[in-house]
Amino acid sequence: MTRFFGIGCGLLAFATFCGAGLSLSAIMAVFSPETDAASGFLADVRRDDWESALARTSRDYQSHHTSSDLATHVAAIGALDGHNLAFLTSAEGVDDHRARVEGSLYGSGGETPVAFELSEEGGYWYIDLVVVRGVRLE
């Protein structure tokens, strides 16, 4: 009986340790500068603030698009255009100046995966690419 109690306590401790580790990594992803940039972009999209959303994109994207273009391209991706909540769950550095952020958008169509590629320039993170359920924001 004592043996089973000991095994049970060991498994409980292991599960608690693993759960705490996963929670910590999720919390760290939520509070990273890269995630802040992606969250800001999504908040701008929800508010239809296309000038601000465009300002969060890379210099290359801005050189080929206007805020009106961005609004049109976002509208073509229904889950991005119609989301009312976003939860970004992971941020991973590719190198010192590039990162990838992933999460989910929530709207009338349910949950939709979203991913961002970002680059750092002058201390700020800019959106290079947005992919929603495999569809690239043009």
**Tens-level pLDDT at each residue, the chain (138 residues):** 555 555 655 545 555 555 444 433 444 446 799 999 999 999 999 999 999 999 999 999 999 999 999 999 999 999 999 999 999 999 999 888 999 999 999 999 999 999 999 999 999 999 999 999 999 999
pLDDT computed for residue 19 by the predictor: 46
Burial of residue 120 (number of CB atoms within 10 Å: 0-12, 13-18, 19+): middle
Domain edges within the chain: 1-30, 32-136
Question: What's the distance, CA 83 to chain centroid?
Answer: 13
C-beta separation of 45 from 81 below 8 A: yes
CATH code for the domain defined by 32-136: 3.10.450.100
| Closest C-alpha among 94, 75, 92 to residue 135 | 75
pLDDT computed for residue 7 by the predictor: 60
pTM, rounded to two decimals: 0.78
